[in-house]
């Protein structure tokens, strides 16, 4: 495998692209970027547990898109245009003027809702890709030690996320095997919470016991070098972001 990019490069790229996507406000380009990022994640997959966070972020994005579209169709001011179909209008009390639930659904209204949903989903997918490409632990290694408390919180929070998914699956399986077909939220959430809490405490204790944060300065074992490649990647992404913003 080739040497990976510096973890910070990937995060900065994700942020730059996200800014560009919002500024450009073009759903097609946003979708194209998601596609490109998905391809990148697929190529660089190595079976690590945080790799799944990209898929998870896509799923969250899809849910947001669905909710945004449904809400957009049901509620809001009518946008004139090609009429697709008409929903019955809900009678609202007079103290709620200007709001309409139901009514005619136009192509324009549908597309504007879809469009906004896609933009939000893209941003989530971008950050999901950044987490799935750089392990959260690697990110901690490049965090300066003067933000020790933040560093410790960061590593716990980010390593918890993929662990949560694995644990949730394990608990679900165990309960399915006990013959619970309808899985209640409570029956998963309680063991999951207990486990995550105790795991986080263990990790924090281990870091404490090993002297993390004692010295103000910290040295680097085989430092992750900032290469020309990182410069080039950043430059290209920044150029793309600037084009998107200024257009």
Partner 1 sequence: MITFSNVSLIYPQSTKTILEDLSFQIEEGEMVLVMGETGSGKSSLLRLINGLVPHHTGGILAGDISVDGISTRSVKPGSLAHLVGIVGQNPINGFVTDIVEEELAFSMEALNFPPDVMRKRVEEVLDLLSLSALRNRSIATLSGGEQQRVAIGAALVMHPKVLVLDEPTSALDPIAAEEVLSVLHRLVHDLSVTVIIAEHRLERVIQFVDRIIYIEGNGDTSIGTADEILKRSELVPPIVKLARALNLSEIGTSVREVRRQTEDIRNNQYSRPLVPSLENSPAIEISRVSHSYSEKSALNKVNAVINHGEIVAIMGRNGAGKSTLLHSIVGLHSPHSGEIRVNGADPTLLKGAARRRAIGYVPQEPSDLLFASSVEEECVLADRNNEIAPGSTAALLNRLVPHISLHAHPNDLSEGQRLALVLSIVLSGNPDVLVLDEPTRGLDYRAKNLFAIALKEYARQFNRPVLLATHDVELVAELADRVLFLAEGEIVADGTTLEVLLSSPAFAPQVAKVMSPKPWLTVADVVHAIEASA
Selection from 182, 185, 150 nearest residue 168 by Cα: 185
Q: How far is the CB of 159 from partner 1 (least distance, A)?
A: 9
Selection from 236, 214, 226, 206 nearest residue 17 by Cα: 236
Q: What is the DSSP letter of 231?
A: H
Cα–Cα distance between 80 and 87 in angstroms, integer?
15
The answer to the question of residue 177 lying near partner 1 (CB under 8 A) is: yes
Of the candidates 4, 76, 102, 191, which one interacts with partner 1 according to CB under 8 A? 191
H-state helical runs in the chain: 7-24, 27-43, 52-74, 107-133, 136-141, 148-177, 185-209, 228-246
The answer to the question of residue 75 lying near partner 1 (CB under 8 A) is: no
Stretch that binds partner 1, among 15-23, 78-86, 183-191, 226-234 (CB under 8 A): 183-191
Q: Binding string to partner 1 for residues 31 to 60, with x set by CB under 8 A, is what?
A: ---------------xxxx-----------
Q: What is the largest CA-CA distance in the chain?
A: 69
Stretch that binds partner 1, among 59-67, 82-90, 97-105, 201-209 (CB under 8 A): 201-209
The answer to the question of residue 173 lying near partner 1 (CB under 8 A) is: yes
By the criterion CB under 8 A, which residues form the site for partner 1? 46-49, 135, 137-138, 140-141, 145, 155, 170-171, 173-175, 177-181, 186-191, 194-195, 199, 202-215, 217-222
């Amino acid at each position: 495998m080739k040497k990976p990019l510096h973890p910070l490069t990937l995060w900065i790229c994700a942020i730059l692209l996200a800014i560009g996507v919002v500024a450009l406000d073009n759903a097609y380009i946003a979708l194209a970027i998601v596609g490109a990022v998905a391809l990148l994640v697929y190529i660089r997959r190595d079976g690590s547990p945080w790799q799944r966070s990209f898929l998870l972020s896509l799923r969250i994005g899809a849910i947001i898109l669905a909710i945004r579209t449904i809400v957009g169709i049901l509620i809001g001011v009518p946008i004139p245009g090609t009429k697709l179909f008409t929903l019955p209008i809900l009678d609202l009390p007079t103290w709620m003027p200007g709001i309409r639930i139901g009514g005619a659904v136009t192509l324009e209204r549908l597309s504007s809702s879809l469009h906004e949903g896609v933009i939000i989903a893209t941003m989530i997918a971008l950050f999901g890709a950044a987490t799935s490409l750089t392990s959260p632990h690697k990110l901690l290694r490049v965090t300066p030690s003067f933000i020790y408390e933040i560093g410790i919180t960061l590593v716990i929070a980010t390593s918890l996320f993929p662990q949560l998914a694995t644990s949730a699956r394990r608990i679900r399986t165990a309960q399915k095997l006990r013959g619970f077909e309808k899985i209640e939220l409570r029956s998963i959430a309680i063991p999951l919470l207990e486990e995550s809490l105790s795991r986080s405490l263990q990790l924090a204790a281990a870091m404490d016991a090993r002297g993390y944060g004692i010295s103000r300065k910290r040295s680097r074992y085989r430092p992750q070098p900032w290469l020309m490649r990182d410069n080039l990647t950043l430059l290209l992404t920044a150029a793309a972001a600037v084009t998107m913003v200024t257009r």
